[in-house]
Amino acid sequence: MNKSDVSIIIPAYNEAPTIGGIVSRIKDLYPDFEIIVINDGSTDETAKAAKDAGAIVYSHPYNIGNGAAIKSGIRIASGGILVFMDGDGQHDPEYIDNMLTYFPEYDMVVGARQSKRDQSSPLRNLGNKMYNWLASYVTKFPVMDLTSGFRAVKADIARNFLYLLPNTFSYPTTMTMALLRSGLSMKYIPIEAALRGTGSKSKIRLIRDGVRFFLIIMRIATLYSPFRIFLPVSAILFITGLGYYIYTFLTAHRFTNMSLLLFLTSLIIFMLGLISEQITQIRMERTEKSG
């Protein structure tokens, strides 16, 4: 692989204390890489620090979001492999070389954080584990770190998923789910996440972004594999209706309206799942033909 065919994309919002050092270290380690810093409407000297360190700087006129910055970087990058990393100093650029060794065999390589030295709370870590489990169920792939922003992906694949990516911090979730449900290959490599740079703190909000991650998992699941969601819901309603019918039959010797409602709802959801699965299959076939 030609080293000049790699673009590193760093979204940054008010990261002036750390961004210059990150860009300088990347240039020392990988002098042929294209380094793009997306200044997402920072109110400090982030853009100047990145430019002085030698990065290509693209600035948003105001703060749009981490995902929007990633999308801007994807649009302007020239490399065949795109590497995404944070601008707060958590991600060690030395891992990039290890990531690139897995191309072109894999379509995306993601750094899975092995320790929680990134100031995450126990509640957030528990939430991440739950989302990893849910994503693993939906994708039928062992998802080790659903929200990791340190990843390398083939540029053409990233551009194919551009329309799906949100403008918020949940872009890693969307990219991971979409890639796996499209039948593409992904590999996790272990990394250690360092403490954030001085003055930098997490911009993710536990409740707000937690709900958003859950909705994204559901959206991608229903977009690529709806039966993974519809079938369990239908089964739960059917089992509940059957259990309630057995209870009422043994206690009152009758079949109740509630049991009937549960059975009918279960059947309706099952049929909706079948229809959604057929629509998904038709959409995927058309997408592959147009590609």
Q: Please report, for the domain that includes residue 35, its CATH number.
A: 3.90.550.10
Q: Which helix (H) or strand (E) holds 218?
A: helix 206-224
Claim to verify: residue 195 and residue 245 sit in the same structural domain: no
CA 253 vs CA 14, 175, 245, 249, 258: distances in Å: 69, 53, 9, 4, 14
* Close Cβ partners of 132 (under 8 Å, ≥ 6 residues apart): 143, 144, 145, 146
> Do residue 137 and residue 215 come from a single domain?
yes
What whole-number distance in Å separates Cα of residue 19 and Cα of residue 11?
10
Q: What total number of domains does the chain contain?
A: 2
Last residue of a domain, one of 173, 200, 222: 222
**Residues 100 and 243 placed together within one structural domain of the fold:** no
More confident residue, 28 or 215: 28
Same domain, yes or no, for 168 and 48? yes
Does 240 lie in the same domain as 177?
Answer: no
**Domain boundary, last residue among 204, 222, 240:** 222
Select, from the ranges 27-36, 173-182, 198-207, the one with the highest average predicted confidence (pLDDT). 27-36
pTM for the predicted model, two decimal places: 0.80
Inform me whether the pLDDT recorded for 123 exceeds 70.
no
Q: Are residues 9 and 97 in the same domain?
A: yes
pLDDT at 119 exceeding the cut of 60: no
Q: How confident is the model over 103-113, as pLDDT tens digits? A: 999 999 999 98
Question: In terms of residue numbers, what domain contains 146?
Answer: 3-222
Whether residue 127 has pLDDT greater than 80: no
Per-residue pLDDT of 193-241, as tens digits, reads: 776 554 455 555 656 666 777 787 787 778 778 888 899 999 999 999 9
Considering only CA atoms, which of 82, 56, 79, 102 is closest in space to residue 150? 82
More reliable by pLDDT, 67 or 116:
67
Output the pLDDT for position 25: 95
Residues 37 and 174 in one domain: yes
> If pLDDT is split at 50, 70 and 90, which confidence band does 279 have?
confident
Edge-first strand order for the sheet with 186-191 is 56-60, 34-40, 6-12, 81-84, 151-154, 108-113, 186-191
If one counts every other C-beta atom within 10 angstroms of the C-beta of residue 136, the result is 15
Q: Are residue 161 and residue 243 in the same domain, yes or no?
A: no
| Beta-bridge mates of residue 36 | 9, 56
Mean pLDDT score, 146-150: 90
Among the candidates 222, 248, 279, a domain finishes at: 222
Amino acid of residue 247: Y
The reported pLDDT for the residue numbered 102 is 96
Query: 94, 117, 98: which is closest to 106 by C-alpha?
Result: 98
CA atoms of 283 and 109, how far apart (whole Å): 27
